[in-house]
Amino acid sequence: MENKKMAIIATKGTLDWAYPPFILASTAAALGYETQIFFTFYGLQLVRKDLSVLKVSPLGNPGMPMKMPFGPKWFKGINWNIPNAIQALVPGYESVATALMKQTIANNGVASIGDLRSLCQEAEVKFIACQMTVELFGFEHSDFIDGLEYGGAATFFEFAGETDICLFI
């Protein structure tokens, strides 16, 4: 298992899509893979100091079960099929959905994104942020956590070209 390598490109900036890169990277590191994540476009949100920017939106997402994380079992089992038109009009709908999702995550013993991200860093998963997108979106390096490297596509290929597993998320 020595010398196996994995690279991930993380391009999504929502709470739900924050999970796959960090789960896979931390697990790969535990299995002995040398691992890098390249954060680009909306994926940059995953390496912000402030993770409260990560939200989940049920709007236009028919695959997302809408279930309540509290109450008796029959109540938790109900799938609240709320039409997109209503979701779009109710102020704060996304914030409520995000709070409910965070509660569901905690109820199920699933780690928070902050915890998983720290576990990745402890396991020496290398984080690279796309410098072009940092500028494009008007971010400052001070918006991001310590330990990031900044680079471009060529930097990604330098490592990705030698990997056993390479994922675009």
Partner 1 sequence: MNFDKELDARGLNCPLPILRAKKALAEIGSGQVLKILSTDPGSVKDFAAFAKQTGNELLSTAEAGGEFTFFMKKK
Give the binding site for partner 1 (CB under 8 A): 1, 23, 26-27, 30-32, 108-111, 119, 123
1 vs 85, which CB is nearer to partner 1?
A: 1
Least Å distance, CB 114 to partner 1, is 14
**β-strand partners of 127:** 37
Nearer to partner 1, 31 or 88 (CB): 31
Give the nearer residue to partner 1 in terms of CB position, either 23 or 66.
23
Q: Minimum CB separation from partner 1 for residue 127, in Å?
A: 17
Q: What is the 3-state secondary structure (H, E, C) of 134-153?
A: HHHCCCCHHHECCCCEEECH
> Of the two residues 8 and 129, which places its CB atom closer to partner 1 in the complex?
8
How many whole angstroms separate alpha carbon 78 and alpha carbon 65?
9
Nearest approach, Cβ of 29 to partner 1 (angstroms)?
8
| Rounded CA Rg of the chain | 18
- Local structure of 48: helix, strand or coil: strand
Helix (H/G/I), strand (E/B), else coil: 41: helix
